[in-house]
């Protein structure tokens, strides 16, 4: 699978762990995030990931920032993006299963690294259920 990942300064250490984990599983990862801990503007990185997901250049995306709210708000501006904010693996499963999310949002300041990796695995392993949920996903567009 080809996965784009982006982060601001709050998500750097988690991003590095997630990239190592995904590459060990054989996934191709495109790193659009900062690699340092100096303050940066999260929309700059969220736009890069969201555009690649929107344009189907990657299969899925992952975004990290302190609360993940800012990166989710930015990513969800794109018409083909359904970015879901998750704080545990159960929510990560539901956003894929029921909402066909294609970007996982991880709040780095409110989750543990182990939890973040569990969310990534769950997000990647869960397929969209379709059915009545497809009707609802179709209604998301303005």
Known catalytic residue at 27: no
Burial degree of 26 (CB within 10 A; 0-12, 13-18, 19+): exposed
Catalytic position from the list 9, 32, 47, 65: 65
What are the tokens at 116? 């973040």
Catalytic position from the list 47, 98, 133, 142: 98
Known catalytic residue at 65: yes
Residue-wise over 118-129: b if at least 16 C-beta within 10 A, else e? Answer: bbbbbbbebebe
- Cα separation, 66 vs 87, in Å, equals 12
Which residues are tagged catalytic?
65, 98
């Amino acid at each position: 699978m080809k996965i784009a990942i982006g982060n601001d300064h709050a998500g750097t250490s988690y991003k590095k762990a997630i990239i190592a984990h995904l590459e060990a599983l054989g996934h191709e990862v495109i790193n659009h995030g900062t690699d340092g801990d100096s303050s940066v503007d999260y929309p700059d990185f969220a736009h890069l990931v969201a555009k690649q997901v929107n344009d189907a250049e990657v299969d899925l995306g992952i975004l990290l920032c302190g609360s993940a709210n800012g990166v989710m708000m930015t990513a969800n501006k794109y018409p083909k993006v359904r970015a879901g904010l998750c704080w545990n693996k159960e929510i990560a499963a539901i956003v894929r299963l029921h909402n066909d999310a294609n970007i996982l949002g991880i709040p780095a300041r409110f989750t543990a690294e182990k939890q973040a990796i569990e969310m990534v695995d769950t997000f990647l392993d869960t397929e969209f259920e379709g059915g009545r949920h497809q009707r609802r996903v179709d209604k998301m567009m303005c």
